[in-house]
Amino acid sequence: MRKNFGVKPWVYPQPVLMIGTYDENGKPNLMNAAWGGQYDANQVMLCLSSHKTTDNIKATGAFTVSFATASTVVPCDYVGIVSAKQEPNKMEKAGFTTVKSEFVNAPIIEQLPLTLECKFLKCNEDGNVIGEIVNVSADESVLTDGNVDYKKLDAIIFDPTAAAYIRLGEKVGNAFKDGAKLK
């Protein structure tokens, strides 16, 4: 038996996208969003409503997307519920520090180890932000043998059914390989 829940935004799970931008004065800002995803091999899509971030993306033509981690869950949640319009010092209050991306006019958040550095392409016909990934960078602290190590990264996901943040657990399989057993 199945239970019907009606219309719910329950793509499961959702990433915790941390969107970094500069404002018109070069001041860094960061917000948190769960609605978005890979839009093409070199593109990301973000579904944002009106935010300081959307103004900044349009003004600078760039943004970064990092991913919340277990150790940064409190400040990552904080920047999602407090707008720079109300709290100009939100980055300092969150404890986030930044350096400028080498590739685009947007900040890298030093406490968030994996980052997509994106050029703003357009708002599409439905008003969603589309960005081109021009580089991905990762802090060496989350690498093993030069590759991203998910245990070191310790990224979290958003569970939309319970508004919970959950870390990743055990590896259970290999994509494009495990299914071959049934061929």
Map the footprint of a copy of itself across residues 12-71, applying CB under 8 A: 12-15, 17, 34-42, 44-45, 47, 65, 67, 70
User: Taking the CB of residue 159, how many other CB atoms lie within 10 A of it?
Assistant: 15
Peptide bond into 13 cis (omega under 30): yes
Asked if residue 88 binds a copy of itself (CB under 8 A), the reply is: no
What does the angle CA 138 – CA 153 – CA 141 come to, to the nearest 5 degrees? 55
Q: Residue 142's closest CA among 111, 108, 101?
A: 111
* Closer to a copy of itself by Cβ: residue 50 or 162: 162
**Structure letter (DSSP) for residue 69:** B
Piece of 21-29, 51-59, 140-148 that binds a copy of itself (CB under 8 A): 140-148
Asked if residue 123 binds a copy of itself (CB under 8 A), the reply is: no
**Structure letter (DSSP) for residue 29:** E
Q: Which of 51, 59, 130, 152 binds a copy of itself (CB under 8 A)?
A: 130
Q: Cβ 23 to a copy of itself, closest distance in Å?
A: 21
